[in-house]
Amino acid sequence: MEITRLSPTVRRGLVVVITGYGKGKTTAALGIAVRACGHNMSVSIIQFMKGDLYAGEWDGVKKMGCQIELIPTGKGFCGIQGNPYPFKEHRSNAQEAIQLAHQKMASGQIDILILDEINNALHLHLVDLEQVLEIIQHKPPLMHLVLTGRDAHPQVIELADTVSEIKEVKHAYRKEIEPQPGIDY
C-alpha cells in the first residue's frame, strides 16, 4: 500500500488553543509534538506551571530522539494541592517563561512553540493578557503556536485559528483514585 504525503499549497503558521476542564490538554499538545517529529520539525515546549513534580513527558521526549525540547519553568500549580511557593515566585517564573517564549520565536529555529498551561497562568495573573496577545500577534508567520490550559481568555480564543475544548465526563480522581504514571503524569 502506498502512503500519500500531503503538502499544503500555502504554508501558514497556526495558532491553536487547547482548553477546557477535561484531562488531556497537555497530552494533546504532546501529540502535536509527536506528529511534528514525524515531519522532522523542531518543537519547543515551555511549561508555565509544571516543574515541581516529575512528569513522564520530560524523559519521554528525550527518548524519542526528535528535535523536541521541553522546558519546565514553573513551580507547580499556584494556590492548589498544597503548593508551598508564594504568588510572587510563581509570577516571576511565569515572566521568565514569557521572555523565553520571545527568545524562541526570535531564534527562527523552531517550527512549533507550545506554551503549556499559559491559559492558567493568564487566568491566575501570573502573566498579563497584553503579554499573551503580543506573543500571538508577533509570532513568525510560518511558526505554529499552541496554547494550553483551562480558562482560555476570550481574546486569545478570538485570535486563534483552531480552538479545542476538552470536557471532563468522568475522572478517576473523583473516585479518590490517585494519579497514575503514564496516564496522569
Residue 46's domain comprises: 15-166
Residue type, 33: A
Residue 81 has pLDDT above 70, yes or no: no
Domain presence at residue 53: yes
Average pLDDT, whole number, for the chain?
92
Domain presence at residue 54: yes
State the Cα–Cα distance between residues 132 and 137, nearest whole angstrom.
Answer: 9
Give the number of other Cβ atoms within 10 Å of residue 120's Cβ: 23
Residues 6+ apart with CB under 8 A from 135: 98, 101, 102, 105, 115, 145
Residue 92 has pLDDT above 90, yes or no: yes
Tell me if residue 123 falls in helix, strand or coil.
Answer: helix
Domain presence at residue 10: no
Domain presence at residue 105: yes
Domain presence at residue 5: no
Domain presence at residue 178: no
Domain count, the chain: 1
Tens-place pLDDT, residues 53-79: 778 888 898 898 999 999 999 777 766
CATH of the domain at 135: 3.40.50.300
Domain presence at residue 79: yes
Tell me if residue 53 falls in helix, strand or coil.
Answer: coil
Domain presence at residue 184: no
